[in-house]
Structure 1
Amino acid sequence: MQTLSVTERYNKLFSELEDCDEDEQKEKIEKMNEVMDEMHEEELESVVTAEVFNGIYTMIEEKKLTLENSFLLLKHVGSSNALKSMSVYGFGNSSLGERFEEMIVEEEKKKEKRNEKLLIDLCECYLMLKDKFLFNLLSICVSCLLEVGLNKGEKEGDGNEVETSLLTLSSVGMLTKIPEELYLSEIKGIIQHHQDHHNLTPLAYQSAWQFLVNRLFLNGVLEKVMTDELHFVKKAKREMEEQSKCVDWKRKEEERGGKGVKEGIVLRRWLFTLFDFFFSCHLWDDEYSELVCCIVRVFLSAKDNHRKYSMRCIDLLKAASEKRAVKIGGLLKGGADDAVLEGIQQPTMDYEMAYDCLRFFMNVCDRLKSKDDEAGEAKGKGLKRKVVEKMEEEGYEDAITSFHEMIPFLNDEFCCELSLSIDDYFVNI
């Protein structure tokens, strides 16, 4: 008998929902959620479509599916997408998405008589499954879910609720503008309370930071708040060190059961958070090199057996090298050049990592040649000397030269420009 694929199993369970009573539906949805945990991103995208959301809407309208059971299914779809850093597009164009928007407004208008749990469930589904938001709905949802976070998870059972609400907020992307008065005091309170009392789960704490870092892109003033008041660098470094201990670095990725494994999910999310932070930061503090050190340590731990982690680290270092606010001295102090040099000489390196490594060194050399990039001629010469010495010691020149004929292919593959001149990957004192 032929074994069904994960998408076939999921679709089969979904097709059986309308013929079950409420308890049977709940059991099937729990099985669907388990199957969803086994899916790769492409498989998940294939089953999370506007057609599926419209089918859920029809079942709810025809009383064949309860709202409670629909939330059980939809929130797992949303959290799976948030944890895998994906985007769902079908919900916004579905009848279900439109109905949930109406219900949020209707429930909010009830004020003191509103059903708080219903509103929270609706807001979590809306923010996790929608990619663009109406401002009035966004403000309702953000205020509602921050209020859940402010409960601080001190009551028994609150921890999961707070985690889900903060995970939901973290999915609101950096291009979504939210006025400070809607969130800043509350998210600061949530983060500071955890720093004093350690009441949040690691995922909830990371999600609170991700929500705040996402706001940094459109509001550079937040950087001082994050670093001076909330001590982002120190706390992010500590969290990454703790989460690194949760990964079995000696075990190869293909031996880990692959798809459904949650091992290290918070660490992966911290790497995304740092990417967004470096992308959006406007200031530079030498202390930031400690974050670079963390990234380098994760790369060195991951390079032999965990390709996704190592690629993500190199991509992050490449992105940091492109940001003028991230000083070259800080990158070198943190060991970024060592990591990227080791990356470009990895026997298992693929084209994407080759591109990122070459781009990193091209950026570094270009900036070291620039008179206005680093302060002080003497300091600039010192940095150049360090790079040149590294080239000589570690076989950098041979490594870069060996990729020279591949550069036109990499440019076509990634639609970005690497210099065709080999001289742009070297710097002279």
Structure 2
Amino acid sequence: MQLTDEAKWFTEMFSELKDCNEEEQKQKIKEMNENVDGMNKEKFRSIFTKELFNKIDEMIEVKKLTMGNVLLLMKHIGFINGTKICLLHSFKESSLNKRFEKMIVIENIKKEEKNENFLANLCKFYLLLNDGIISTEMVSIIMPCLLKAASKKERNEETQKEVEIAFLALSHIDRYYFLRQELYLKEIKEIIQNHQEHYNLSRIGYQSAWKFLINRLFCDEDLERLIVNERHFVTEAAKELEELSKCVDWKKKKEEMSREEMKEANISKRWIRTLGFFIESCTLWNDEFIELIRSIIQVLRAAKENHGEISELCIYFLRSAAENRVVKIEDLLESEAVDAVLEEVTQLHVVNEQTSDYLHFFKILCERLNSKREIESDEAKINELKRKAHEKLEEEGYEDCIIGLRCCMNEVEFSSYFLVENIDDYFIYC
């Protein structure tokens, strides 16, 4: 792989560290960290390879790199990896990963001489760089340590940054881990409630606290009542998305955005991805959800031209909402979800994965409008909804669009990988 100019610069700076004293190393690492901030995922991955992490391990072994400076570098790498979701598999495969795993275990079993801050810092980047896929033993050590770090209430900038990184790391504990509520719920509930009253967390810290909790919902359905009814997750998420959208000019392309705008856009993406996890398993529904769907649609419409990854997450959320039977058909109509997806469908000219998500929305809507289960609940209401849906689809030329895509499918090999073989299934017969 040919190195980019940024990768060459970083590699040269890194090679100079072995000949520097501790203070000189610290200054160089700060400069390196600043340079990493603006990198995209591809450049980031091209630098932080298994070979680089192994070199860091070797430099620690021969005492050419102080542990304080290692933490300064690694914590920042972990933060960038966690916020951009770069998926650095290279760290997990490195000797440095094994070294830090041993250090965490050893530091944790200490008694009076245990250094809580040092242990917390080790846990933060270890979890962030392993993408939350770690052993159950490591989870049992890391989670209480980071919950304690995240519970600090000091308002100074340094402490708040440490709280933010602690929550970011916690939010990466994989959602397939079952964690007993007594291990985390009291602390997380208090932290979220405290923020709702005093606004003491950063945007990404607050989002990460919720993501940690939503991840637990996957294996613990009992949490949902607290999440939805007591702490009003849906209202909070809609409010955060609205506030974030005010800070981002979605008409700009990524490369035109300021660093602050990119940060806010990435937090929006994290919220929508978390909401996607939530809507897949949601069993409680109330009027608050309509405003949430409207917030998602607002982001979809604003981001679709220049931010394809975010618009794809939005449409996937809407598809998941349509699939979830607790979301009423009238809510999809009232929230303008149908209008928003129609806007996109009538502009489609190619068959790809995003086309599939748009059309599956209507396939699901069709199935539900003709479902015995839906009709038996209130036949008159369903007939009225059918009429409204049909009028809306007819007005926007949905049928002409499907016929056009049928021609497109005949020209594109393997297009049926994205769509069902019989495209007539995407017509809506009301």
Partner of 2:345: 344
- Corresponding residue for residue 381 of structure 1: 383
When normalised by structure 2's length, the TM-score is 0.91
Matches of residues 154-169 of structure 1 in structure 2 within 5 Å?
154-155=155-156, 157-169=158-170
Distance 2:339 2:413 in 1: 24
CA–CA distance in structure 2, aligned partners of residues 230 and 408 of structure 1: 50
TM norm structure 1: 0.91
The structure-2 alpha-carbon separation of the partners of 1:255 and 1:275, relative to structure 1 and needing over 3 Å to count, comes to: same
Instruction: Give the length in aligned residue pairs.
Output: 426
Aligned equivalents of 2:68, 2:269: Cα separation in 1: 31
Q: Give the deviation of 1:290 after TM superposition.
A: 1.8
* Residue in 2 that maps onto 1:372: 373
Identity of aligned residues (%): 46
Distance in 2 (alpha carbons) for counterparts of 1:17 and 1:355 = 50
CA distance in 2, matches of 1:342, 1:349: 15
**Structure 1 residue 93, shift from structure 2 partner:** 2.6
Partner of 1:81: 81
Aligned to 1:316: 317
Report the counterpart of residue 55 of structure 1 in structure 2: 55
Q: CA deviation at 1:363?
A: 2.1
| Whole-Å separation in 1 of the counterparts to 2:378 and 2:262 | 49
**Deviation, structure 1 residue 263:** 4.1
Deviation at 1:118, TM superposition (A): 0.7
Task: Deviation per CA, 1:337-394: give whole Å up to 9, x if none.
Answer: 1111112234798834322212222222222222225732223222222211111111
Give, in whole Å, the separation in 1 of the partners of 2:81 and 2:11: 18
Which blocks of at least 5 consecutive residues in structure 2 are unaligned? none
Equivalent in the alignment of 2:143: 142
* 1:402 to 2:404 alignment: yes
Q: State the distance in 1 between where 2:416 and 2:165 align.
A: 35
* AA of the residue aligned to 1:25: Q
Which secondary structure does the structure 1 equivalent of 2:201 belong to?
Answer: coil
Flag the 1:424–1:85 CA change in 2: closer, same or farther, 3 A. Answer: same
Equivalent residue, structure 2, for 1:206: 207
Distance in 1, Cα, partners of 2:384 & 2:367:
15
Greater mean alpha carbon deviation, residues 135-144 or residues 303-312: 303-312
Contact 2:254 2:262 in 1 (8 A): no
Q: Which residue is equivalent to 1:7? A: 7
CA distance in 2, matches of 1:80, 1:281: 30
Name the SS of the counterpart of 1:87 in structure 2: coil
> Would you say the 8 A contact 1:74–1:125 is kept in 2?
yes
- Residues 1:252 and 1:157: Cα distance change in structure 2 (over 3 Å): closer
Residues 72 and 415 (structure 1), Cα distance of their counterparts in 2 relative to 1, 3 Å cut = farther
Q: What's the CA shift for 1:323?
A: 3.3
1:114-159 deviation digits (Å, cap 9, x = unpaired): 1011101111022111242222221221111111121134356321
RMSD: 2.6
Compute the displacement of 1:193 (Å): 0.6
The alpha-carbon deviation at position 183 of structure 1 amounts to 0.9
Query: Is the CA contact (8 Å cut-off) linking 1:324 and 1:373 kept in structure 2?
Result: no
> Given residue 402 of structure 2, which amino acid in structure 1 is its aligned partner?
I
Judged with a 3 Å threshold, the aligned counterparts in structure 2 of structure 1 residues 66 and 285 are, in CA distance, closer, same or farther, namely: same
Secondary structure of the 1:55 match is helix
CA change 1:16–1:373 in 2 (3 A) is: farther
CA separation in 2, counterparts of 1:384 and 1:346?
23
Contact 1:343 1:357 in 2 (8 A): yes
